[in-house]
Amino acid sequence: MTEGASVTLDSLVASEMTNRRRANALKSLGVVTLRDALTYYPFRVTDPVPVRPIRQTKLGEPSAFAGRVEGIRVVPLSGRRGYRLDVAVNDEESARAYGGAAALARLVFFSHRKSYVDWMAMRLRTGVTVVVAGEPTTYMDQLQFTHPETLVVAGDEGSDGSGLTGPASGSVRPDADSVQAALARVCRPRPVYHANSRISSDHIHDSILGFIRLLSASHGSGIEDSAQATGQEEGVPVGRTGVAEPSAGGTGGGPRSGMEDAGISGQEREAFAAAVPDILPEGVRAGNGLEHRAAAFLGMHDPDSVKDFAAALKTLRFEEAFVSQTALLRSRQEARKADTYACPNVGADSLRDRFIASLPFDLTRGQSEVIEAIGEDMSRDCPMQRLLQGEVGSGKTVVALAAMLQAVENGYQAVMVAPTQVLAEQHFESIGRMLSAMGGAGGADSAQGEADKAGTGSDKTPNINRSGPVPLVLLTGGMRLSERRRALAVGASGEPCIVIATHAAFSKTFQVPNLALAVIDEQHRFGVEQREVLRRKSDRSPHLLVMTATPIPRTAAMTWFGDLDISLLTELPGGRKPIRTVVIPESDASTMASMFLHLRRRVEAGERAYVVCPRIDQDDASGTAEGGGPGGPQGPSPRRRTGSRPPAVGGGGDVEEETLDLIDPYGDVSQEADGEGDRPPLHSVEEISSRLASLPQFDGIRLATLTGRDDDATKGRVMADFESGKTPVLVSTTVIEVGVDVPLATCIVIFDADRFGLSQLHQLRGRVGRGHRSSWAFLVSRAEPDSPAARRLDVIRRSNDGFEIAQADIEIRGAGDVLGDAQSGGRSSLKLLRVVKDSDMIARARDQAAALLKEDPGLKGEVELAGAALDFMRGNETFLTST
């Protein structure tokens, strides 16, 4: 196979496999290149398989034994195409070595490919010594191993010391030289991978071992020996990976000959090390007691022991920490070198200070401190990069407006980007009111006059507000073309102004040449590339303020936002009352009825109520958890599902994103959240709205519905009716999770609350309690008492502290399920690092990365590390999902 010389880590899987079905199945898991395959890590390894004579095997427990083939037959399957291969194996001499009586076991293989059955029959012919590993079952009172792993042992009589003998396997090359060697191979721990219905964990493992052999062959290993050792025999279709193809049409639990998992030889390991260079600097690797990268890959995918797997995991986990911290520190270095617009606060009569003085309330201490810190950052000639975390309702918008006014007063422009049109319009209205309360400013009247002459006055263009001291512009993808053009014209003119925009800000038509400040609201909805698009809108790099109402534990923030300064707003404005949270079992009809009666009383008192459901209608598949194939925990349980995704960078449309963070309420969160038959179906907006309309508690009360499928005009109308009280009860999906601000909303009911992540429940709960009235959150659950789901809900019932809840959410579900890894076309480069549990490792990696960059800022002496850091920044969102 001469083409092996061209195989590299960047070679495409599709080019190296003749089995298109398997290549496509791997692609569905994100495995496109050989590099992707090597970094598609198993989430655990199996325990070593014990060696037991047939009579000592236990049903349902894997075991291995050596025996001799006593008989074999091929049986055509009736009623359908295919064949069954029955092999009788006797362990007489092996059992004698264990002091027991011999027994007979039946090995069964199914396939609808006659070539495969003939090949297996040739391998396992009568008299051959074999080693078998599998999980025993019974069929018609006979012990049976279905599709076990089988290794043919060379027929060197007595050389293995077991007393087993058998003829050499003729034209079939034996899999092992001795019984001991074969048992050692089948008893090794086996990696287990996240899989799906298209490909099993075993076939993922086989494919990755084949890719390792290919890379070894391309760097000096003997390709003939490699191919022969992996099943390239007569009648066996083999792809370029050297892996025998699955026989029975599926990529599920296909038969295993043992040749598919022959292990990587010593010669192949040496060659593989030449194909996979280290990323970590040698001093860092040795100083932390870590393995070489190639050895770590082999320890993950082909471990000799559980200890090998643990050592490999330690190495690759630290590598991820070191690469991520190096990338973030370099990003910060590069940002500080860029030119920006310095925007000092001009004095006591500045727009910023006049705005603060005009507020009808006093700033919290946290708000004052953050405004001062931002003002100091913006006065410098290097770009500010700051992350503002704040509880729902903590006043982040006030802080952002103060910063934007500071930019505008210096003669520049500011842009605030919101993820949805509803949120953008609410910002436009609330900021407009705050600016109007400040009154006009010198020069504003003349600007208004010029605008009126141009036909862009506020009376003619509802998306441009000039009633305050600075022009305020709204830009969304759903507005009329004439309004959009006028908004674009204001930005392109370079006139000092504040622009409130949605994803339309990333379109090529939107230009702001004097952009001094970019504010990203609810930053988890935007990717790094979109943030960079905003930076390129201006002649210089703008200051950057990213905001999130999703609290991030300190260690997670340090890991993912290492290039940003972090500010916290933990205080709520005065007068806010804590939200009372109640968990209600849905089976408790009396309490459910009381809850609905409570909603009616609050509505009669002039208040509003939300009812949230995870699905839109009964046929909506977007509310179900995505999972792996049936039959076991082959995938991660918490699954994120978005009803729609933001457009690619450069698009101008707006997308309302509904984010469902669904988890399995009936088992540990490490188990697969799949299988609709195991759990009741999720409630839908369609079902619940119909149900509420029929209840006497809602007689005479108008209900409205809101989902991500509704168009912008419908959403605007529904929200206006809800705020006015025309339809005081709103049944919706999680589209209301972000940015919806209705002070009179005092009640929220969340159905299937046990199926959401804690942080998302906290976000939803934040839709109420935004005024000065008492508020309630009712979490309707179908989880069993004392189940993991019930314990999760107890966390949010007891706490209103978003940071405490986020910490618990990450500890329960793992950082990988809370941190963004699939938005806007990006994918996470972190696969093994646990942000909370590995905080000490992250801090150590950060210190060592900082020391390395101090000596070699450009990483000229560490080419592999420089490339990995660049890949990390290109492929990572480094943003939180809205869980």
- The whole-number pLDDT of residue 559 equals 61
What gap in Å lies between CA 58 and CA 559, rounded to an integer? 47
Q: How many residues does the chain have?
A: 883
588 neighbors 581 (Cβ within 8 angstroms): no
What gap in Å lies between CA 763 and CA 860, rounded to an integer? 45
Residue type, 257: S
What gap in Å lies between CA 414 and CA 812, rounded to an integer? 39
pLDDT at 547 over 90: no
H/E run at residue 275: helix 266-275
What gap in Å lies between CA 633 and CA 648, rounded to an integer? 33
| Helix-helix angle 201-217:266-275, to 10 degrees | 80
- The whole-number pLDDT of residue 771 equals 79
Beta-carbon contacts of 504 under 8 Å, excluding residues fewer than 6 positions away, are: 475, 476, 477, 484, 510, 652, 653, 654
Residue type, 179: V
Question: β-strand 472-475 against 498-501: which pairing, if any?
Answer: parallel
Number of H helices, E strands in the chain: 29, 25
Tell me the DSSP string of 417-457.
Answer: E-SSHHHHHHHHHHHHHHHHHH---TTHHHHHHHHHHTT--
Beta bridge partners of 547: 388
> Which own/partner pairs from 221-230 qualify as long-range (CB within 8 Å, at least 24 positions apart)?
221/267, 221/268, 221/270, 221/271, 221/272, 222/267, 223/1, 223/4, 225/265, 225/267, 226/265, 226/268, 227/1, 228/173, 229/173, 229/259, 229/262, 229/265, 230/259, 230/260, 230/262
End-to-end CA distance of the chain: 49
H/E run at residue 639: strand 639-642
Which has the higher per-residue pLDDT, 334 or 312?
312
- The whole-number pLDDT of residue 604 equals 95
- The whole-number pLDDT of residue 531 equals 63
- The whole-number pLDDT of residue 220 equals 65
pLDDT at 538 over 90: no
Per-residue model confidence as pLDDT tens digits over 700-759? 999 999 998 888 788 889 999 999 999 999 999 988 876 677 889 999 999 999 988 887
Phi, psi of 33 (to 5 degrees): -115, 170
Residue located via tokens 């950052």: 377
- The whole-number pLDDT of residue 260 equals 46
- The whole-number pLDDT of residue 657 equals 41
pLDDT band at 675 (very low <50, low <70, confident <90, very high): very low
What gap in Å lies between CA 198 and CA 628, rounded to an integer? 9
Which has the higher per-residue pLDDT, 881 or 267?
267
Tell me the DSSP string of 42-81.
Answer: -SEEPPPPPB--GGG--TTS-EEEEEEEEEEEEEEPTTSS
| Helix-helix angle 306-337:293-301, to 10 degrees | 130
Per-residue model confidence as pLDDT tens digits over 122-162? 999 999 999 999 999 998 888 999 999 899 998 744 334 44
646 neighbors 477 (Cβ within 8 angstroms): no
Mean pLDDT over each residue of the chain, to the nearest integer: 79
What gap in Å lies between CA 752 and CA 735, rounded to an integer? 16
Q: Which of 549, 525, 473 is nearest to 770 (CA)?
A: 549
pLDDT at 5 over 80: no
36 neighbors 204 (Cβ within 8 angstroms): no
pLDDT band at 468 (very low <50, low <70, confident <90, very high): confident
pLDDT at 254 over 60: no
- The whole-number pLDDT of residue 142 equals 87
SS3 label, residue 1: coil
What gap in Å lies between CA 352 and CA 206, rounded to an integer? 63
What gap in Å lies between CA 709 and CA 273, rounded to an integer? 52
- The whole-number pLDDT of residue 285 equals 96
- The whole-number pLDDT of residue 161 equals 42
| Helix-helix angle 20-28:201-217, to 10 degrees | 110
742 neighbors 428 (Cβ within 8 angstroms): no
Question: β-strand 104-111 against 142-146: which pairing, if any?
Answer: parallel
Mean pLDDT of 804-831: 54
Beta-carbon contacts of 539 under 8 Å, excluding residues fewer than 6 positions away, are: 513, 514
Per-residue model confidence as pLDDT tens digits over 321-350? 999 899 888 888 887 888 899 999 877 788
pLDDT at 506 over 90: no
701 neighbors 730 (Cβ within 8 angstroms): no
What gap in Å lies between CA 347 and CA 351, rounded to an integer? 9
Instruction: Compute the radius of gyration of the chain from its Cα atoms.
Output: 32
638 neighbors 817 (Cβ within 8 angstroms): yes
User: Domains in the chain, start-ordered, CATH in brackets?
Assistant: 1-46+189-276 (no CATH), 54-178 (2.40.50.140), 351-569 (3.40.50.300), 579-625+634-818 (3.40.50.300)
- The whole-number pLDDT of residue 332 equals 81
Beta bridge partners of 576: none
- The whole-number pLDDT of residue 739 equals 61
Mean pLDDT of 178-205: 89
Per-residue model confidence as pLDDT tens digits over 57-85? 889 899 999 999 999 999 988 767 789 99
What gap in Å lies between CA 242 and CA 231, rounded to an integer? 7
- The whole-number pLDDT of residue 224 equals 41
Beta bridge partners of 65: 132
What gap in Å lies between CA 256 and CA 109, rounded to an integer? 9
What gap in Å lies between CA 766 and CA 742, rounded to an integer? 11
Question: How far is residue 278 from each of residues 648, 828, 864, 868, measured CA to CA in Å?
Answer: 34, 21, 7, 11
Per-residue model confidence as pLDDT tens digits over 392-429? 777 888 999 999 999 999 999 999 998 888 788 888 98
Task: Give me the torsion for CA of 616, 618, 624, 628, rounded to 10°.
Answer: -150
- The whole-number pLDDT of residue 410 equals 95
Q: What percent of the chain has pLDDT over 70?
A: 75
pLDDT at 600 over 90: yes
List, in sequence order, the alpha helices (H) in 605-711. 685-693
Mean pLDDT of 427-439: 89
Which has the higher per-residue pLDDT, 453 or 843?
843
Mean pLDDT of 669-691: 66
Beta-carbon-side half-sphere exposure of residue 337 (alpha carbons within 13 Å): 7
Question: How far is residue 365 from each of residues 28, 394, 801, measured CA to CA in Å?
Answer: 50, 11, 18
Question: β-strand 498-501 against 413-417: which pairing, if any?
Answer: parallel
Structure tokens given for 375: 């003002």
